[in-house]
Amino acid sequence: QVQLVESGGGMVQAGGSLRLSCAASGRAFSQHSMGWFRQTPGKAREFVAAINWSSGNTYYRDSVKGRFTISRDNAKNTVYLQMNNLKPEDTAVYYCAATRDFIITRFDAYDYWGQGTQVTVSS
């Protein structure tokens, strides 16, 4: 069982930056791949970024490549999402999630989810 708590959301102007954190508790955090997803009202939850637990490889949706960076600190049981040059279309509730699956860009591969944190980008 893994419990996840996100923090760091807020309101920022376009072009600004935010860093989301996701603190994990429970067993074997370091052996779980971690992902960030986001969702806006009326739309499906979409993949944003993920980091593989063993290789450290990272994956991003095209629209955030070069602007967002996912990282993890296993000693602190925390995964981060650094978001730079934010755009109004990045506005969403952001969720972190954990999985032992191999395909880590699909939301249905994830077993554990946080409660979400709101990110609002004004133009």
In this predicted model, what pLDDT tens digit does every residue of 45-82 receive, in sequence order?
A: 999 999 998 899 999 999 999 999 999 998 999 999 99
Average confidence (pLDDT) over 28-36: 91
What percent of the chain shows pLDDT beyond 90? 88
- Comparing CA positions, the residue from 76, 66, 78 lying closest to residue 36 is 78
Cβ distance 49 to 70 under 8 Å? Answer: yes
CA distance to 9, 83, 118, 123, per residue, from 26 (Å): 23, 27, 24, 39
How far is 39 from 55, CA to CA, in rounded Å?
Answer: 27
What percent of the chain shows pLDDT beyond 70? 100
pLDDT at 92 over 90: yes
Q: Give the residue carrying structure tokens 């939850």.
A: 45
pLDDT at 112 over 80: yes
How far is 60 from 76, CA to CA, in rounded Å?
Answer: 23
